Structure 1
Amino acid sequence: MTTLEQVHALKQQIAANIIGQEDVIDRLLIGLLANGNLLIEGLPGLAKTRAIKALAKGLVSSFSRIQFTPDLLPSDITGSEVYYQTETGSEFRFDPGPIFANIVLADEINRAPAKVQSALLEAMEERQITVAGKSHKMEPMFMVLATQNPVEQEGTYPLPEAQLDRFLMKITIDYPSAEDEVGVIDLVRSEEQAERGIKAHAEIAQTEQSVIFEARNQIAAVGVDPAMARYMVDLVYATRTPEKYDEDLANWIDIGVSPRASISLDKCARTQAWLNGRDQVLPEDIRSIAKDVMRHRIALSYQAQGLGLSTDDVIDKIIELVALP
């Protein structure tokens, strides 16, 4: 099997555990292949945690889940220096925390205070953490997937813009269709039967990490025409200078996206093109991931919020107004 075929096999393996969330599965794979961190937002019970576990289960990898709570401490995530008494004397040794895994689930990240949230920043950005003046590197494959609930705001600590910007994409999960929800019931029932020995467990074929690294090498070689690069930048600049495109748009946006958005658009578009079996980025690759890349980086005005507009609505307007160069 080719590398692309093996990645598609991984996608099918995840899809067997998640019903009706094809777009979410695609975004999880794009985040993994683009070597980025993801923020996943959705109401309770919409399989956010299950989707992340399914991804980890399909890979030969270590998985760690951190349940964020108001009393969590930074050392609970990073680990700490521990004093050990040995036969030859005593010494301090670093005891690694749960952040040292290939796939890290930061569950309900907005339920922990800022000092705990910031403990993830160095790991996400620098792929290392520093404890007692010593740096400790993450594994070559390292990915943080954070979840949050968009409706429960009591007792939460909203992520600051600087931290949101460090997520490659923000994925939103919505309710499944009625047909898909029937499939969810059947899937859970089958899993319960397998656990009780009524039905045989399905064998899980795991994908080696070397496949992901090879995929990343191939994605790095995907071509981006100068016109496509300019189109990405034009989309980004439309969030910073909206008055050049439309008066309403200018009234809807307070703060445009950062240069990280341009970099993320390029990474994700090349990954999308590769997943579609192409070696060149097309406009549909850029448009398909524009919302996921920019929705958490745009700050809406009070007027836009008063009109009930979402960042997705604003991005739709930008895609409509910005022409291909």
Structure 2
Amino acid sequence: MRTVTVTVPATSANLGPGFDTLGLALSVYDTLTASSFDDDRLVVEVTGPGADEIPTDESNLVVRSIAHVYADVDRPMPGLHLHAENGVPHGRGLGSSGAAVTAGILIAKGLLAGDVDLDDDALLRLATELEGHPDNVAPALFGGLTIAWTAERGPRHKKLLVHRGVAPVVFVPGFTMSTSLARSLQPPHVSREDAVFNVSRSALLIAALTQSPELLLDATDDRLHQDYRGPAMPETLRLVQALRAEGFAAVVSGAGPSVLVLADGPGARQRAVEIADDVTDTPWQAHMLAVDVQGGTVRERAEGST
């Protein structure tokens, strides 16, 4: 029997203009402990957000991700006892599915240690095969601000450190949003003007997040996805617009419906909370967060330890 514990951060993708490209790891975590056995037992226990809706059989996304790695490296899938303590809200645009995929990949990495060596490129490839795109799994795996893209040799990423003056706050509503529905609302084509607009803002956003936080408001403007998705989550769009009118770099977090604010200092976040309390009928739970710089971690536990 081998036991490993993994911790995986929440993520916020897109960050306004960086659609399907930019992602940020945030200090909210899922923690999972998995033990392998020589037989075919499968025990899955889940606590925390979304626990009542998460399957506890072979269809569980973490279990499927573990099995995907074992199949890829041509090893037999062991029996498992999996305990998940969820901290990442589900269906809120904070990368819960990416966190589950990343957790499964890292659990498999830990259980296979000493037999199979999985490097960073392999981890990102395997996670992207399951998630469909790398913008959430890259920051979940590696932490910080990540730029993700796909080359001929597969998905790639570049990790960057975020300026210490950037202070994230996430507003989480009580309702959820389907990622597939959000994507279906976007047009198949955009104008050249809008494409150039987003290219310029994405380039500026890298500078704002790493060097010049005072540019964050302009840098987070977007014409590719947020307005198109607005009708499906009007309270989200209303909060984004109200915050931006007051000078805050507010964006839809991932596919929504949560709102991410990249404040240019910790002291500014309380004012953002006050605005959220005033402008919508929806109660928003504010999470004052930090940028996670580690990404997913794997720790092997000796048998009998706690």
TM-score normalized by the length of structure 1:
0.30
Q: Which has the higher contact order (CA 8 A, sep 6+)?
A: 2
More helix by share: 1
TM-score normalized by the length of structure 2:
0.31
The structure whose Rg is larger is 1
